[in-house]
Amino acid sequence: MKKTSIAIFVVTAVMACSSFAKSPTTNWNSDIVEDYQNAKKGSTVVQLTNDDGSRWYYTARVKGGFDSTYGSGLTQKDHSALEGNLRIRGLTKLNDDVGIVGDFWLKGKENYTEKDHHVTDSYNGGDDKVTWEQYRFGFENDQFGALLYGKYTATMGVFTTDMGTQGLNDTQGDAGGKNAEKLIYKNQFDNNLFVNATYDLRSDIVGADIGYETADMYSFIPNAYGIYLSAHNGQPILENGAGNYLTGNVDKTNTAANSDSSYTRAHNDLLTYTLSGYKFFDLRSKFIGNLSYSKMDSGETAEKIAARGYTTGGLGYSATVGYQIIPVGFKGFSPMLIASSDQYGETLAPQLEYWFKPNLRTWVSHAFNSSGQDITRLEFQWDI
């Protein structure tokens, strides 16, 4: 029944689109790879690019840093990492309206970890872990959107708060994270409506987003904003102190393959709801917000769930807000503050970034947690 409700939710949104006037704020070249035809975006793959509107490009990223997790009477964890990323995106036109679209992101990561000053994961020459961070490929129609297969999240609303080191940690997204075997439908309409829906072929987890956005949520455009309503029937997850996660909708007595995490879902019809959004103020600052809810089982309490680490029902409410000052000309200091609250505790995470240029940044942050351990991070990111 609730899967049907989600389907009706998305279909109604699509049907409603014809009643809206075209917006002057959007100019989508693609629902998946946005302004892929812009020659300044990435490095062009010449063999896959021609004059009919087809273009593929690649970008690379180097990211690294150090973090330290600590708290009175608890294990101290010191961790450093270096990762390399390669991402290839683009669209090949089949005719004026239809194309083959793709987004492939490969990540390699090398880790070094100490717990209470004992090495538990040492460097091994860069051969630690190479995985698909995500991939999506399929067909896209200029009017009807994109139908894809890939590895991705159940909903997209969680990415609204993807700011700083803490923004994604209190959003109750599905515990499986980015998971393969998903069918995905996505459409960013000319009238600014946004629709995204996913179905996992293995676990039967369904997710849906409907929203209104004047630009893609990762764009840097003056006064852009977006607001989204999301739902999924997976397993909501929250961070309760650094690195300590609470998972909802878990049945540890069953081994059915109906989830994207390592735990079976207790209910196929438990929904997690999220209202999220972002707003740029000119191009000087950005505000983000997320409010999520999944219904706890009768008789459950936050104290019991925190002690156990999981529950068969939902996790209750959670909320995150954040604010960032953007440096003039994308060069200089960029302070931000992210605050989260749920039924298990609160987190306050100040962060100070320095932008050498738009594609090269370094930052230091500290997350104060009322429950669990605090964490300090020193990191950098270079997009090539």
| Cα gap 11→152, rounded to integer Å | 21
| Cα gap 361→91, rounded to integer Å | 29
Residues 236, 343 contacting (CB under 8 angstroms) = no
Q: What pTM, to 2 d.p., does this model score? A: 0.91
Supply the pLDDT for residue 109.
Answer: 92
Residues 19, 61 contacting (CB under 8 angstroms) = no
**Domain span including residue 82:** 2-383
| Cα gap 99→141, rounded to integer Å | 7
Lowest average pLDDT, out of 30-34, 156-160, 224-228, 348-352, goes to: 30-34
* pLDDT mean over 343-371: 96
Q: What is the percent of the chain with per-residue pLDDT over 90, rounded to a whole number?
A: 75
| Cα gap 274→204, rounded to integer Å | 20
Tens of pLDDT, residue by residue over 150-204, are: 999 999 999 999 999 999 989 999 999 999 999 999 998 888 999 999 999 999 9
Supply the pLDDT for residue 353.
Answer: 98
Going by C-alpha positions, the residue among 164, 208, 170 that lies closest to residue 363 is: 164
Domain with residue 250: its CATH number is 2.40.160.10
**Number of domains the chain is built from:** 1
Supply the pLDDT for residue 255.
Answer: 78
Q: Mark out the alpha helices in the chain (DSSP H runs).
A: 2-16, 302-308
Tracing tokens 């010191």 back to the chain, one arrives at: 78
Q: What is the percent of the chain with per-residue pLDDT over 70, rounded to a whole number?
A: 92
| Cα gap 232→22, rounded to integer Å | 30
Tens of pLDDT, residue by residue over 334-344, are: 999 999 999 99
Q: What is the token pair recorded at 153?
A: 């999240």
Strands 245-247 and 374-383, bridge-based pairing: unpaired
Tens of pLDDT, residue by residue over 163-174, are: 999 999 899 999
